[in-house]
Amino acid sequence: MILMIEIKGLQNLVKYSYHPPGDKSISHRVAILGALSNDWLNITNFSQGKDCFTTISCLQEIGIPIEVDGTTVKIYPWKKLKNKVNLDCGNSGTTARLLPSILGGLNIEGVLFGDSSLSQRPMERVITPLKKLGGILEGTDGKLPIKVERGWRLRGEKLELQIPSAQIKSAILLAGLFASNPVIVKESKVTRNHTEIMLKEFGINLEVKEREITIYPGKLVSPREYHVVGDFSSAAYFIALGLLSKEEIIEIRDVGLNPTRTAFLEVITKMGAKIQIINEKVIHGEKMGDIKVFPSTLKGIEVSEDLIPNIIDELPLLGVLASFAQGTTKVVKAGELRVKESDRIKGTVENLKKFGVNIMELEDGFIVQGGNKLRGREIYCHKDHRIVMAMTVAALFSEGNTKILDSQWVNISNAPFFKEIKKIAPNSIIDLSVRD
C-alpha cells in the first residue's frame, strides 16, 4: 500500500509558529535510561515518530512496564524481566544498535531483527566494539539479525572510534554502565552528545575531555520528570520554508539547540540565511529556544568536512536549498549517507534531477549548480523519511504539481509533518490517496 500526496507548487504561504515534535534521538535515549533506572519516570513531549515507539515496544517486550498516552510516556520500575526475547526493530537503526548493550547488561538472551531496509544497514560497527568490552553477540554477515547471548562479563577498556557515529558511541557508553571498570571512548570527530548529557542527568559519573569520554559504572537515578525538547532536524524543513519564502512567515518555538545538532544553522548562515535565536534556556542539560526565520538570498558554499557528522540528517535538505542558491554548493566526505535508511546521496541526486536541478553525484556527496527553476514531477523517495520531507520543500517552490509516491514514510520520524505543512501552505496539498 502506497500513500501518495500531491503538492501544488508556488502557492502563498501563511504566517505560522511551528512547535516541532519531541526530539527523536533524545526520545530513544530517555526511554532506554528510564527503563534502566531505579524509579518511575514521566516523559513529556515524547517523539511521535514510529522509530521511537519501536524502542518502546522492544522495552515492553523485555518486560519493562510502560504506559503511553499521546506524547506522554510513563515508565515504571520492573520486577521481573524475560530471559529470552525476539525484538523487532522495524526501521529503527537506533533501536537495533543500542538495545544489544541493554540485553547483555541485563543478562537477557535475544535476537534483534528489522525490516528489509534496516536489514541492509551495517551492524558490525557496533558489534565489534561491544565484543572488545566482553560482549557475547554475533551479526549475520555484519548485518541483522543480531544474536545476543547471556553471560556478558564487561570490562573497562579504551576504544577509539574511526567511524563518527553517535549510535556506536552510545552503545559503548550504555555497555559501560555494566562494566567492571571505567570505559573510555575516543571519537575521531565530535558527534551528537545527547547520551552524555542524559547520563549525567540520571546521576552517572561521566567525564568529557574534547573527543574523549570516560564513563564510570553505576546505577541510574531517575529524575522522575523529563521534558523532551523540540526536534531540530524536524524544524530544519520549516526553517528552509522561511528562507525561501517571499515574506517573513515562520517562527520555530521550543526547539532543541544542542551545538552538536545545529551545524545546519552554521552552514545556512554561511550561505546567507538570516535567522535570529531568542528565548534561549537549558532544560535537563539540553539547550533550547526559538528561531525567527527571514526570507534570504542564498549563495553556494563548500561544506566543511568537520561539520558533516552533525549535519548528516539535513544534507538532503541542504541539497534542496543549494538548488535555489546562487553559485555552486559542494558536499563531500558524507559517505555515511549511503548507509542510512536508504542511499541518501543517490535519492537526493535522483529526485532533484527530476525537478530539473543541475546536480552531480559524487562517491561521498554531491555538487549542486544553483539558480535552478524547479518543475514539479512524480518522485519516489526510496522509503526514506528525510528525503520525503526534503522533496516536499522542493515541491512547494516548484512550478506545477509534484506527486510524492511514498509519503507515508514520514511517519518514521515526524508523523504530523503534512498536517503542519497544510497549516503553513493551506492551498498546496491537493490530493491524498492510497494506491495498490
Distance CA 146, CA 288 (A): 36
- φ/ψ of 74, rounded to 5, equals -120, 125
Helix, strand, coil shares of the chain as percentages rounded to 5?
A: 35, 30, 35
57 annotated ligand binder: no
Which three cell numbers, joined as nine digits, stand for 397? 517552490
Residues 6+ apart with CB under 8 A from 124: 139, 142, 143
Residue 77 has what DSSP assignment? -
Question: End-to-end distance of the chain based on CA atoms, in angstroms?
Answer: 5
Q: Residue 35's closest CA among 11, 10, 55? A: 55
What Cα–Cα distance (Å) separates residue 176 from each residue in 168, 185, 211, 218?
A: 12, 10, 17, 9
Which helix (H) or strand (E) is 243 found in, with range?
A: helix 232-244
Distance CA 194, CA 310 (A): 12
Helix (H, G, I), strand (E, B) or coil at 67: strand
125 annotated ligand binder: no
Bridging pattern class, strands 143-148 and 66-69: unpaired
24 annotated ligand binder: yes
> Exposure pattern of 399-435 as b/e (b: 16+ CB <10 Å)?
eebbbbebbbbbbbbbbbbbebbeebbeebbeeeeee
Peptide bond into 426 cis (omega under 30): no
121 annotated ligand binder: yes
60 annotated ligand binder: no
Residues 6+ apart with CB under 8 A from 314: 233, 236, 263, 264
The amino acid that residue 391 corresponds to is M
- For 37, how many CA atoms within 13 A lie in the half-sphere containing its CB? 27
Q: Which residues are catalytic?
A: 313
340 annotated ligand binder: yes
Helix (H, G, I), strand (E, B) or coil at 230: strand
403 annotated ligand binder: no
Distance CA 425, CA 96 (A): 36
Which segments are annotated as binding site for phosphoenolpyruvate?
24, 93, 121, 167, 344, 386
Which segments are annotated as binding site for 3-phosphoshikimate?
24-25, 29, 165, 167, 313, 340
Which segments are annotated as binding site?
24-25, 29, 93, 121, 165, 167, 313, 340, 344, 386
